């Protein structure tokens, strides 16, 4: 039986910290499904399709990693995929309380294990929001994201600037 893990997130955009967690998870599980959450509470910069495209490009070096998206309860998606675990990255103590609460709730609903992975310390400060903000002002994000993500961020913010000029 394959040991499948789900790594959910909005990944708007995927960062080097996310990739570090994916790499660690890929060594622990037979298969890791990186899944883009369609979170109605958030207004993402990139569409689900654009995020999937970026993630597929950066995870193609891992033989046991797939990319997908889901809508609804994560535990329902995990059951559908026969997952034994949910992967969550913890950057700081501030992440822990929320993630711990979610892990307990998921276990109560569906008896699934949550595995917390700590990224390399050089990524502990890194998150998608910071990357988007730096990129929105034309800052250099090359140390924080893969090349394809950097390129797509530049294109996205160039489009946004052009739209603002027209209105």
Q: Which two tokens stand for residue 97?
A: 């309380």
Q: Has 18 been labeled as part of a binding site?
A: yes
For residues 138 and 28, the answer to whether their CB atoms sit within 8 Å is no
Q: Which two tokens stand for residue 72?
A: 């609804």
Exactly one of 53, 56, 91, 107 is catalytic; name it: 91
- Cα–Cα dist 73/110, whole Å: 11
Q: Has 114 been labeled as part of a binding site?
A: no
For residues 33 and 6, the answer to whether their CB atoms sit within 8 Å is yes
For residue 18, indicate whether it is catalytic.
yes
Exactly one of 42, 122, 154, 161 is catalytic; name it: 42
Q: Has 89 been labeled as part of a binding site?
A: yes
Q: Has 15 been labeled as part of a binding site?
A: no
- Cα–Cα dist 164/66, whole Å: 37
For residue 120, indicate whether it is catalytic.
no
Q: Has 125 been labeled as part of a binding site?
A: yes
Residues linked to residue 87 through DSSP beta bridges, in sequence order: 115
Q: Has 98 been labeled as part of a binding site?
A: no
Residues in binding site for substrate: 10, 42, 74, 88
Residues in binding site for ATP: 10-11, 18, 89-91, 99, 123-129
Instruction: Just list the catalytic residues.
Output: 18, 42, 91, 128
Residues in binding site: 10-11, 18, 42, 74, 88-91, 99, 123-129
């Amino acid at each position: 039986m394959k040991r499948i893990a789900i790594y959910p997130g909005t990944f708007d955009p995927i960062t080097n910290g996310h990739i570090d967690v994916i790499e660690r998870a890929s060594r622990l599980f037979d298969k890791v499904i990186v899944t883009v959450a369609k979170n109605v509470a958030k207004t993402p910069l990139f569409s689900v399709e654009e995020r999937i495209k970026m993630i597929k490009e950066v995870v193609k070096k891992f033989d046991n990693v797939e990319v997908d998206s889901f809508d609804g309860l994560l535990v329902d998606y995990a059951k559908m995929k026969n997952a034994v675990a949910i992967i969550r990255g913890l950057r700081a103590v501030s992440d822990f309380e929320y993630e711990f609460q979610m892990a307990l709730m998921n276990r109560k609903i569906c008896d699934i294990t949550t595995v917390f992975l700590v990224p390399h310390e050089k990524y502990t400060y890194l998150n998608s929001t910071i990357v988007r903000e730096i990129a929105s002002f034309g800052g250099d994000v090359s140390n924080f994201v893969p090349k394809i993500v950097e390129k797509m961020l530049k294109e996205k913010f160039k489009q946004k600037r052009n739209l603002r000029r027209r209105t």
